[in-house]
Structure 1
Amino acid sequence: STDQESLGIALVANQVFGGRPQDRAHAIAVYRDNVEAVLNTVPAERLLVHKLGDGWAPLCSHLGVPVPEESYPARNTTQEFRSALGIVQ
């Protein structure tokens, strides 16, 4: 892990989750509040809610660009994310 990655993790833990990334209920509430704020702020015609597993097609269609020939990237699994934030199951 580089210093830059460590800084990014610290910023997420402190700025996004208020220094409480291990507090599951708090983290879920922060996430849901953010989703609600986005849904209430961004006009529907400009918003794409892209879910895990959706792949390239909906994203590229929304952006008006062709689907790339390369596979859709898959990284930052739940376990990798928790490990990076020091969250132990």
Structure 2
Amino acid sequence: MKSKDFLYYDLGVYCPCFSAYGYCSQNCHCTNCKNREYYEDFVEERVDMIKMKNPRAFDPKIVRVQDASEIEPHSSNAVPMPEVQVPRTFV
């Protein structure tokens, strides 16, 4: 049996570019990561495998107020959070 990290093999475990559904560039700090346009078929195969397990895996984690009406609330008292600008930084 393969380990659960098999899906991330050669993509740089927990690669922030991959989790943001984007490719790595020269400016990111990933090393030995195949999350590059050159390996597009490989990356898309991994994305499909992950989406089979969790269809919302690559959905944005923060939702704008305008989009909040499209999301089913968890309770009848749910109030959408105000829109917040979060700076995107990669370590």
Q: TM-score range by the shorter chain?
A: 0.3 to 0.5
TM-score after normalising by structure 2: 0.34
TM-score after normalising by structure 1: 0.34
Q: Which has the higher helix share?
A: 1
